[in-house]
Chain A
Amino acid sequence: MDISNYLYLSAILFTIGAVGVTVRRNAIVVFMCVELMLNATNLAFVTFSRIHGNLAGQVASFFTMVVAACEVVVGLAIIVTIFRSRRSASVDDASLLKR
Chain B
Amino acid sequence: MTTSTHLVYLIALPLLSAALLLVLGRIADKWGHLLATLVSATTFVIGALEFFAMQSRTGASRAATQKIFEWISVGAFKVDATLLLDQLSICFVLLITGVGTLIHIYSIAYMSHDHDRRRFFAYLNLFIAAMLLLVLGNSYLNLYVGWEGVGLASYLLIGFWNQKPVYATAAKKAFVANRVGDVGLSLAIMIAFAQFGTVSFDGVKAGAPHASPAALTAIGAMLLLAAAGKSAQFPLQSWLGDAMAGPTPVSALIHAATMVTAGVYLITRSNFIFDASPNARLMVVTVGAITLLFGAIIGTAKDDIKKALAASTMSQIGYMILATGLGPIGYAFAILHLLTHGFFKAGMFLGAGSVMHGMNDEVNMRRYGALAKAMPITAVTFGLGYLAILGVPPFAGFYSKDKIIETAFNSGGTKGILLGGATLLGAAITAFYMTRVIVLTFTGSKRWDDKAHPHESPILMWAPMVVLAVGSVASGFLLSSGSALVNWLQPVVNSQNVVAGEELMKPIVVSGLALGVVLLGVLLAIFKYRTVPTSAPTQVSVFTKAARKDLYQDSFNEAVLMRPGQKLTAGLVLTDYKVIDGIVRTVGWTLGAISTAMRKIQNGFVRSYSLLMLLGVLVLVFTIWLVTL
**Footprint of B on A, CB under 8 Å?**
18, 21-25, 30, 91-92, 94-99
Contacts of B606 in A (CB 8 A): 30, 91-92, 94-95
> A92 contacts which chain B residues (CB < 8 A)?
605-607
Contact A99 B607, CB 8 Å, known A18-B614, A22-B614: no
B residues within 8 A CB of A24? 607
Q: Which residues of A contact B603 (CB under 8 A)?
A: 95, 98
Task: Evaluate contact between B604 and A22: CB separation under 8 angstroms.
Answer: no
Contact between chains at A22 and B602 (CB < 8 Å): no
- B contact residues, total (Cβ < 8 Å): 10
B357 to chain A, nearest CB (A): 83
The residues of A that contact B605 with a CB separation of less than 8 Å are 91-92, 95
Q: Type the 1/0 row for B575-607, where 1 means its CB is closer than 8 Å to any CB of A.
A: 000000000000000000000000000111111
- Is B610 an interface residue when CB atoms closer than 8 A count as contact? yes
Chain B residues with Cβ under 8 A from A99's Cβ? 604
Answer whether residue B611 sits at the interface, using C-beta atoms and an 8 A cutoff. yes
Q: How far is the CA of A7 from the CA of B475 in the complex (A)?
A: 123
Q: Are A95 and B604 in contact, with the CB atoms below 8 A?
A: yes
Chain B residues near A18 (CB, 8 Å)?
610, 614
Is the CB–CB distance between A91 and B607 below 8 Å? yes
Whose C-beta in chain A lies nearest to the C-beta of B614?
A: A18
Can you identify 11 A-B contacts, CB atoms within 8 angstroms? A18-B610, A22-B611, A22-B614, A23-B607, A24-B607, A91-B607, A92-B606, A92-B607, A95-B605, A95-B606, A98-B604
- Which B residues are CB-close (under 8 A) to A95? 603-606
A25 contact set on B, CB distance < 8 A: 607
B526 to chain A minimum Cβ distance, whole angstroms, is 98
Q: What is the bound-complex CA distance between A99 and B606, given in angstroms? A: 14
Chain B interfacial positions (CB closer than 8 Å to A): 602-608, 610-611, 614
Tally the A-B contacts, defined by beta carbons under 8 Å.
31
Task: Give min CB distance, A78 to chain B, whole Å.
Answer: 12
A74 to B: closest C-beta gap in Å:
15
Chain A hits for B607, CB < 8 A: 21-25, 30, 91-92
Complex: how many Å from CA A99 to CA B604? Answer: 8
Q: How far does the alpha carbon of A95 sit from the alpha carbon of B606 in the complex, in Å?
A: 8
| Docked pose: A94 CA to B607 CA in angstroms | 11
Chain B residues near A97: list those with CB within 8 A: 604
User: Pick the contact of A96 from B602, B604, B611, B614 — CB < 8 Å?
Assistant: B604
Known: A30-B606, A99-B604. 17 other contacts (CB 8 A): A18-B614, A21-B607, A21-B610, A22-B610, A23-B607, A24-B607, A25-B607, A91-B605, A91-B606, A92-B606, A94-B606, A95-B603, A95-B604, A95-B605, A95-B606, A96-B604, A98-B604
Q: Chain A contacts of B608 at CB under 8 A?
A: 22
| Top 6 A-B pairs, shortest CB-CB distance | A95-B604, A98-B604, A22-B611, A91-B606, A21-B610, A22-B607
A99 and B603 alpha carbons, distance in the complex (Å) = 10
- Residues from chain B with Cβ under 8 Å of A23 in the complex: 607
Distance in angstroms between the alpha carbons of A97 and B603 in the assembled complex: 9
How far apart are A88's CB and chain B's nearest CB, in angstroms?
13
- Which residue of chain A has the shortest Cβ distance to B608 in the bound complex? A22
Interface hub of A22, A98, A99 (most chain B Cβ within 10 A): A22
> Distance in Å from the Cβ of B600 to the closest Cβ of chain A?
11
Residues on the A chain within 8 Å of B602, using CB? 98
In the complex, residue of chain B having the shortest beta-carbon distance to the beta carbon of A99:
B604
Q: Which residues of B contact A22 (CB under 8 A)?
A: 607-608, 610-611, 614
Q: From residue B304, how far is it (CB to closest CB) to chain A in Å?
A: 78
Q: Smallest CB–CB gap between A9 and chain B, Å? A: 19
* Residues of chain A contacted by B611 (CB below 8 angstroms): 22
| CA A95 to CA B605, docked complex, whole Å | 6
Q: Which residue of A lies closest to B599 (CB)?
A: A98
Q: State the CA gap A92–B608 with chains docked (Å).
A: 10
Residues of chain A within 8 A (CB-CB) of B614 are 18, 22
Closest chain A CB from B336 CB (angstroms): 94
Which of A23, A92, A96, A97 has the most chain B CB within a 10 Å cutoff? Answer: A92
Closest to A91 in B: B606
A27 nearest in chain B by CB position: B606
Name the B residues within 8 Å of A91 (CB-CB).
605-607
B604 to chain A minimum Cβ distance, whole angstroms, is: 3
Closest CB in chain B relative to A10 CB, distance in Å: 15
Give the residue name and chain of the B residue nearest to A98 (CB).
Answer: B604
Q: Which residue of B lies closest to A94 (CB)?
A: B606
Q: Output the nearest chain B residue to A97 by Cβ-Cβ distance.
A: B604
**Cα-based distance from A92 to B614 in the complex (angstroms):** 18
Complex Cα distance, B603 from A94, in Å, reads: 11
Complex: A96 Cα to B611 Cα, angstroms: 19
Q: Which residues in B have their C-beta under 8 angstroms from that of A21? A: 607, 610
Nearest chain B CB to A68 CB, angstrom units: 17
The CA-CA distance from A11 to B349 in the complex, in Å, is: 109
Give chain B nearest CB distance to A80 CB in angstroms: 17
The complex places the Cα of A25 from the Cα of B261 at a distance, in Å, of: 96
Which A residues touch B610, using CB under 8 A? 18, 21-22
Nearest CB of chain A from residue B368's CB, rounded to whole Å = 87
